[in-house]
Amino acid sequence: MDHRVLVVDDDPMMLKLVSRHLTAAGYSVITAENGVEALRILHIDGPALVITDYDMPRLNGVELCRAIRSSEGIGVIYIVMLTAMSEDEHLVESFEAGADDFLSKPVTRQELLARLKAGSRIVELERSLAERHMAMHKANAELAVLNNKLDAMATTDELTNLPNRREAIRYLHDGWAMSDRQSTSLGCLILDIDNFKSFNDTYGHAVGDAILRHTAGMMRMGLRKGERLARLGGEEFLLMCPCATLDGLRSTAERFRRIVAESVFCHGGSEVRLTISIGGAMRSVSTASAEAMLKKADEALYSAKNSGRDTSIICMGTDDLPTCSATSEQ
Ligand code: GH3
Ligand code: MG
Ligand code: MG
């Protein structure tokens, strides 16, 4: 408990009297002869208990109260106004200015100590409330950080750091909804590493994981504005291309196919060549839903695999697969 008291009075006799009572009761007393001096003391780790005279030159008691209450640098302060005048208007003025209590002159020892004791209790309460408030504030901030981490964990694929399957499906629906809202075109691509199983079989699962990370990283670097990439699962990725034209989607698919084909994955001192096959679909008037568009892309991917891999096939939603466009540079 803080046992320091600041006594402010321009009357040296009064300062002496109050200080004597307080010192005898175990308080440590600091004195100031006017409000300006009191403010200076309060700004540098001053006491939380202040007894101030009402009538003082320069800054009077009421002005001192206002200055304390409007100062951000001063913490919890309990102010007792010392006044020779007990007219209601002075009391009201003091309380409105921020005084917590008042004492009428002549001051008796018992009343002075009783009022200060009550003040100390309130200071302690206010301080513990402020501490609790701070602790709650800190806990809330920590919770917000944790929630952000949880959100990221729920939407991120651990292996590749790309958005996960749940996010992929959200991207698909978001894209669909935006295309509805803005009457814009929409395309999507499924990108699948060729013969990935054989890498697992040849080099082991850990190297397979590294290949997945490498491929995801390469594709991420190749992203352009508006394109959204996510891992659908296994060695399959989804790329959403809002506002794409059929030609645009074709060239996007080729861009990604080349990015992977031209990338170098090194293992055991040698270079491992990787390729991907890509199936794509454009939303058309006959595409019933986002899922139907994804299914079309998957069918196109199946065709790409059947036509020898390292290739991309894109189809319009209305097209049957045989008329889809296939592009590759084999
Ligand atoms: P295709 O060219 O037809 O796509 O053949 P593929 O071998 O790439 O495809 P397939 O579906 O036959 O095999 C995919 C393999 O990917 C099987 C599965 O064990 C492996 N796989 C799926 N997820 C992971 C993973 O997170 N890490 C590793 N290392 N392997 C994975
Ligand atoms: Mg594959
Ligand atoms: Mg696959």
CA-CA-CA-CA torsion sign (36, 72, 118, 25): negative
Residues with CB under 6 A from ligand 1: 159, 192-197, 200, 205, 208-209, 212, 234-235, 305, 309
Classify residue 205 by its DSSP letter.
H
CB-side exposure of 211: number of CA atoms within 13 Å?
29
Return the pLDDT at 54.
92
Q: How far is the CA of 196 from the centre of ligand 3 (A)?
A: 8
Average pLDDT in the 13-41 region? 94
Return the pLDDT at 322.
39
The Cα 230–Cα 300 span in angstroms is: 19
Does residue 87 carry a pLDDT above 80? no
Task: Say what the pTM is.
Answer: 0.71
pLDDT band at 86 (very low <50, low <70, confident <90, very high): low
In tens, the pLDDT along 94-107 reads 999 999 999 988 88
Between 246-261 and 205-221, two packed helices, what is the crossing angle to 10 degrees? 130
CB 49 within 8 A of CB 120: yes
CA-CA-CA-CA torsion sign (161, 165, 166, 168): positive
pLDDT band at 46 (very low <50, low <70, confident <90, very high): confident
Return the pLDDT at 92.
87
The Cα 328–Cα 263 span in angstroms is: 16
Exactly one of 89, 93, 131, 235 is catalytic; name it: 235
Backbone angles phi, psi at 146, to 5 degrees: -60, -45
- Ligand 1 atom with the smallest distance to the CA of 309 is 2
235 is catalytic: yes
In this structure, the residue with its CA closest to atom 24 of ligand 1 is: 234
Does residue 149 carry a pLDDT above 60? yes
- Ligand 1 atom with the smallest distance to the CA of 194 is 2
Q: How far is the CA of 28 from the centre of ligand 2 (A)?
A: 80
Average pLDDT in the 273-296 region? 96
Return the pLDDT at 319.
47
Q: How far is the CA of 208 from the centre of ligand 3 (A)?
A: 13
Does residue 307 carry a pLDDT above 60? yes
